[in-house]
Chain A
């Protein structure tokens, strides 16, 4: 059973470009979460999605960031017009609804560097 998959693992973008980060949840998992980890800091929640629905986006910056989880295909975190402050590790996690522990399983992360 494959774990949570993220790609790319490393992404370099120049200021002003767009970054697209992909996340494929574990098989059977329909809940996806995105977290951001700035250098030397803990993880901060960004957004929680279920298939075709955004459930909680309270951690998303108001501008330039968007997320989706379509009926088919991976979840996408999109950052438009990237700035240096967007440089961070972005982790995706997935969980299985109905599981008592609601444990979230994390992917390997995408490390975004903005030059």
Chain B
């Protein structure tokens, strides 16, 4: 069974702090995506990671991919309130086009 696990599931952090969300997956993958979802809204694409060692940064968010460890991280630098949302990683497995989503991490930034 294909599994994508994120941790932590819930994260409450103060503004200005740094933290990392982890995404582990169970089978070889050729693509990994990070999405953001605000309450009651759709999914906003943040990053697409296509190869081992890929690192992408946008503002205070940085995502990386280690295909050998089957691990991706989403690092938040100097968090601000606007980053409060639920973050999902999603994996596409070889020969497949469907996204398998992680459990999600609900991030709350406290002023």
- A interface residues with partner B (beta carbon < 8 Å): 31, 33, 35, 41-45, 48, 55-56, 58-59, 91, 93, 95, 100-109
Query: Cβ of A108 and Cβ of B42 under 8 Å apart?
Result: yes
- B interface residues with partner A (beta carbon < 8 Å): 31, 33, 35, 41-43, 45, 48, 50, 88, 90, 92, 96-104
CA distance A103 to B98 in the complex (A): 11
Q: Which residues of A contact B101 (CB under 8 A)?
A: 35, 42-44
Query: Cβ of B50 and Cβ of A100 under 8 Å apart?
Result: yes
Query: Cβ of A42 and Cβ of B43 under 8 Å apart?
Result: no
Q: Which residues of A contact B48 (CB under 8 A)?
A: 101, 103
Query: Cβ of B43 and Cβ of A45 under 8 Å apart?
Result: no
CA distance A81 to B101 in the complex (A): 28
Q: Which residues of A contact B31 (CB under 8 A)?
A: 101-102
Q: Which residues of A contact B96 (CB under 8 A)?
A: 56
Query: Cβ of A59 and Cβ of B98 under 8 Å apart?
Result: yes
State whether A103 and B88 are in contact (beta carbons under 8 Å apart), knowing that A33-B99, A45-B98, A109-B42 are contacts in the complex.
no
